[in-house]
Amino acid sequence: MLLLVIWEGTKKRIKEMFNKVDLSVSSYDTAWVAMVPSPNSGKEPFFPECVNWLLDNQLHDGSWGPPNLHQLLTKDALLSTLACILALKRWNIGEELIDRGLHFIESNLASATDGEQPSPVGFDIIFPSMIESAMNFDVTYKLSLTCRFGLVIGIIECFLSLLEGIGKSQDWEMVMKYQKKNGSLFNSPSTTAAAFTHLNNAGCLSYLRSLIEKFGSAVPTIYPLGNYARLSMVSSLESMGVDRHFRKEIRSVLDETYSSHPWGSMTLPNRQCWLQGDEDIFSDAGTCAMAFRLLRLHGYDVSADSFFNSLGGYLKDTGVALELFRASEVIIHPDESVLEKQHYWTSHFLKQELANNLTQAHKLNKHIDQVDDALRFPSYATLGRLSSRKAIKYYNTDSTKILKSSYRCSNVGNEDFLKLAVEDFNKCQSIHREELEYFSRWVVESRLDKLEFARQKQAYCYFSAAATIFPPELSDARISWAKNGVLTTVVDDFFDVGGSEEELVNLVQLIEKWDVNAKTDSCSEQVEIIFSAIKSTINEIGANAFPRQQRSVTNHVIEIWLDLVKSMLKEAQWLINNSAPALDEYMENAYVSFALGPIVLPALYLVGPKLSEEAVRSFEFHQLYKLMSTGGRLLNDMQTFKRESAEGKLNAVTLAMLHGNGSATDEETFSEMKSIIAIKRRELQRLVLQKDSLVPRACKDLFWNMCKIVHLFYAKHDGFTGMT
């Protein structure tokens, strides 16, 4: 009972976070706001509360910034401390604090030129420019700085050309073209404060006042951040497999994101168009990519051309590149070359980053493990629960990110997220272990282990079920998936090597007649074992599905199995008669004989929503099944081509080469089939994501999940046969 209370409390806190974004304050940005002079006299601060905050918040080592800052973020502390020194010096207060701050900078100055340390955005320009500003104070102060900053003089000289080109010729009127509706420049308090100091712009002042009103005497380094924070919550909760607890909140976030911006019809003559939204999703490449991926995967109609054409030049760091890479994988239309290009250059960049980090293991890069995983396992070749386990492993509760200064947002890195995900994962695992024990007993009780010709794949079959349909309440669907997985493997081996032609025909007839006596009507013990197991499993599925569907589905499941054994019999007869069908004829039969039908289709009745007879008989339903199975069959045939050719068996690759008059090489045939597989996969995902649908989304997801399974296990070899 206590655990349940804790569980519900964690969920409640997370739900509340959807309505509140918690940002840390920035000493750097607060210092810039503190430097804003009153327009009346110019001799006193416009925001004295910010000056007072600086006086009260110097750290014990003389720096300003977050306490307990990572040692590799020293540049951040240097920049923040120098900004605070400038602010205090501007108003001629806090001399003792200034001295302590200067001592900190002097002691850590070597970090300023350390290329291995992460740098705040624009550090190499801003830091030397601020030092130059500091040395423009009175002579005594200038001499003091010169003595203290012996090493700094060299740094300034290194950057003089850069400063003359940028720092001294700042055209604030030109910069104001990028002012947002909220009055800010780039949602940056420091940049907006600097602009107001030069121009006294009313919009800038309105933005700065709104910050003080909301945050008090210290401001964050970026505001607003609501869209990014909430989308990050959605992304994290989904990746860790606990999004089902927050469906209402997630739907609200995505609806708001979609309705706030004209995703589908937007045209962008230049990047300036991206800066017009309320929170400017489009002004940040990472947020934009995340929004696109989440919206598209939830079935919203979003156009890739509407924004990805404007993002190519904005690759800044590994995290942004990773978001762009993930978004570029969600290709569902045949003409999305912009996503293919995005995928090419982001994958190239990420591979370089990965290589660099292998030689610089000490470099602070929180994304590098995720990069390695993303490059090795495309989003269409993953297992849900395995991906969740990795996401839990990689999840970082330290939400520190770096812009012009470091900041934290509890909506992005939160211990409650991790706590809930771990508890949920362990809860599911406990149930799955019990089910696996039951499943193993069923194999023995059904005498399937007595069939010496059959591959023993019960662990694999249950694993694919548990990794795909993992919520505790979907036990019946998992068991159906796993049992039919074992049975289809047995039947495949039976038609392949284990049964005589008489036995094969007998099994087909038994399933066709159905109401028969397995012991007396079977021509062999092998047939009797197989048919009995199939019959009991189908009857069990029918009984479990009836309360959910409010109708009998047993006949449909029988029909699914009958289609399978008939297709397998046809392939066996082709082999017996030494026939070579046309490739189209082969594929029309082979997508059924690949045996995904009995695994996926019966489970659809057990995942929750009602699946009407109209939906089951619809073209959409058939297409979902055919696209999933065709892609799987081609993947299988590519990986088993050499073995099956040596055994004299039919194969799509063999037939393609045979009917191509021998003009196509193995490599050319494989390349063509890979293209066909990609087309089928994208079309399948488009149907799954389509909102206007007879088939419920929860059911369509099973087709896509099976597609991901076959892509994973046939990616480089025959993962099914090779897995024990």
Dist CA 358 CA 352 (whole Å): 10
The two structure tokens encoding residue 356: 């660099």
Listed residue (416, 423, 418) closest to 16, CA to CA: 416
Higher per-residue pLDDT: 388 or 335: 388
Q: Which of 105-114, 159-168, 407-416, 548-557 has the lowest mean pLDDT?
A: 159-168
- At 488 the three-state DSSP class reads helix
CB 473, CB 435: distance < 8 Å: no
Backbone angles phi, psi at 642, to 5 degrees: -65, -45
* Averaged pLDDT of the chain: 86
Dist CA 14 CA 123 (whole Å): 35
Write the CATH number for 594. 1.10.600.10
Indicate whether 307 pLDDT > 60: no
Indicate whether 7 pLDDT > 90: no
69-78, 121-130, 497-506 — most confident range: 497-506
> What local confidence, expressed as pLDDT, does residue 489 receive?
96
Name the CA radius of gyration of the chain, rounded. 32
Residue 396 covered by a domain: yes
pLDDT band at residue 272, thresholds of 50, 70 and 90?
Answer: very low
Indicate whether 721 pLDDT > 80: no
Q: For the purposes of burial, counting CB atoms within 10 Å of the CB of 173, is it exposed (0-12), middle (13-18) or buried (19 or more)?
A: exposed
CB 66, CB 406: distance < 8 Å: yes
> What local confidence, expressed as pLDDT, does residue 716 receive?
73
Q: Provide, rounded to the nearest whole percent, the portion of the chain with pLDDT above 70.
A: 86
Query: What is the dihedral sign for C-alpha 661, 665, 670, 671?
Result: negative
Q: Mark whether 476 and 594 lie in a shared domain.
A: yes
Domain count along the chain: 3
22 dihedral zone (left: phi>0; alpha: psi -120 to 50; beta): beta
Residue 516 covered by a domain: yes
Q: Mark whether 260 and 283 lie in a shared domain.
A: yes
Please tell me whether the peptide bond between 472 and the residue prior to it is cis, using omega within 30 degrees of 0: no
pLDDT band at residue 630, thresholds of 50, 70 and 90?
Answer: very high
> What local confidence, expressed as pLDDT, does residue 165 receive?
30
Indicate whether 270 pLDDT > 50: no
Higher per-residue pLDDT: 429 or 151: 429
Q: Mark whether 485 and 405 lie in a shared domain.
A: no
Residue where a domain terminates, one of 418, 434, 461:
418
Query: Per DSSP, what are the bridge partners of residue 534?
Result: none
> What local confidence, expressed as pLDDT, does residue 273 receive?
30
Indicate whether 147 pLDDT > 60: no
CB 571, CB 579: distance < 8 Å: no
> What's the average model confidence in pLDDT over 29-46?
90
Q: At what angle do helices 458-468 and 415-445 cross, to 10 degrees?
A: 150
pLDDT band at residue 52, thresholds of 50, 70 and 90?
Answer: very high
CB 216, CB 269: distance < 8 Å: no
Q: Mark whether 178 and 263 lie in a shared domain.
A: no
Can you state the percent helix, strand and coil of the chain, rounding each to 5?
Answer: 70, 0, 30
Q: Mark whether 593 and 708 lie in a shared domain.
A: yes
Q: Which helix (H) or strand (E) element contains residue 402?
A: strand 401-402
Residue 344 covered by a domain: yes
> What local confidence, expressed as pLDDT, does residue 724 receive?
38
Residue 495 covered by a domain: yes
User: How far apart are the two ends of the chain, measured CA to CA in Å?
Assistant: 40
> What local confidence, expressed as pLDDT, does residue 160 receive?
29
Q: Which helix (H) or strand (E) element contains residue 407?
A: strand 406-407
Q: Mark whether 328 and 285 lie in a shared domain.
A: yes
C-alpha separations of 260 from 188, 207, 256, 278, 282 in Å: 22, 21, 6, 8, 11
Cα dihedral: 392, 397, 398, 403 (round 10):
80
pTM of the model: 0.87
C-alpha separations of 70 from 65, 73, 81, 401, 500 in Å: 11, 5, 15, 12, 70
Q: Which helix (H) or strand (E) element contains residue 401?
A: strand 401-402
- At 432 the three-state DSSP class reads helix
> What local confidence, expressed as pLDDT, does residue 268 receive?
35
Q: Mark whether 109 and 155 lie in a shared domain.
A: yes
Indicate whether 541 pLDDT > 90: yes
Total length of the chain: 724
Dist CA 620 CA 625 (whole Å): 9
Q: Mark whether 98 and 144 lie in a shared domain.
A: yes
Q: Which helix (H) or strand (E) element contains residue 490?
A: helix 475-493
C-alpha separations of 28 from 11, 126, 222, 236, 518 in Å: 35, 11, 11, 29, 80
Backbone angles phi, psi at 329, to 5 degrees: -80, -20
216 dihedral zone (left: phi>0; alpha: psi -120 to 50; beta): left
595 dihedral zone (left: phi>0; alpha: psi -120 to 50; beta): left
Dist CA 225 CA 248 (whole Å): 21
The two structure tokens encoding residue 413: 């890195």
> What local confidence, expressed as pLDDT, does residue 135 receive?
63
Q: What is the pLDDT of residues 428-477, one digit of tens each?
A: 999 999 999 999 999 999 999 999 999 888 889 999 999 999 999 999 99
Q: Mark whether 636 and 699 lie in a shared domain.
A: yes
Q: Which of 64-78, 118-132, 576-590 has the lowest mean pLDDT?
A: 118-132
Residue 439 covered by a domain: no
Residue where a domain terminates, one of 418, 437, 461:
418
Q: What is the pLDDT of residues 422-433, one digit of tens each?
A: 999 999 999 999
Write the CATH number for 154. 1.50.10.160
Q: Which helix (H) or strand (E) element contains residue 406?
A: strand 406-407
Residue 20 covered by a domain: no
C-alpha separations of 512 from 102, 421, 714 in Å: 88, 46, 32
C-alpha separations of 706 from 9, 17, 346, 496, 710 in Å: 35, 34, 27, 23, 6
pLDDT band at residue 140, thresholds of 50, 70 and 90?
Answer: very low
Q: Which of 217-226, 337-346, 622-631, 711-720 has the lowest mean pLDDT?
A: 711-720
* Half-sphere exposure in the Cβ direction for 351 (13 Å, CA): 8
Higher per-residue pLDDT: 23 or 402: 23
CB 629, CB 610: distance < 8 Å: no
> What's the average model confidence in pLDDT over 501-527?
97
> What local confidence, expressed as pLDDT, does residue 266 receive?
40
Residues ≥6 apart with Cβ < 8 Å to 526: 451, 494, 498, 499, 503
Q: Mark whether 177 and 230 lie in a shared domain.
A: no
Q: Mark whether 678 and 637 lie in a shared domain.
A: yes
DSSP string covering 295-338: HHHTT----STTTGGGTTT---SHHHHHHHHHHHT---STT-HH
Q: Mark whether 453 and 547 lie in a shared domain.
A: yes
> What's the average model confidence in pLDDT over 43-72?
91
Question: How far does CA 513 lie from the centroid of its chain?
Answer: 48
Indicate whether 364 pLDDT > 60: no
> What local confidence, expressed as pLDDT, does residue 316 receive?
58
Residue where a domain terminates, one of 164, 180, 215:
215
Write the CATH number for 354. 1.50.10.130
CB 465, CB 481: distance < 8 Å: yes
Indicate whether 607 pLDDT > 90: yes
Residue 630 covered by a domain: yes
Q: Tell me which residue range forms the domain holding 675.
A: 447-714
Dist CA 307 CA 297 (whole Å): 17
Residue 612 covered by a domain: yes
Higher per-residue pLDDT: 270 or 384: 384
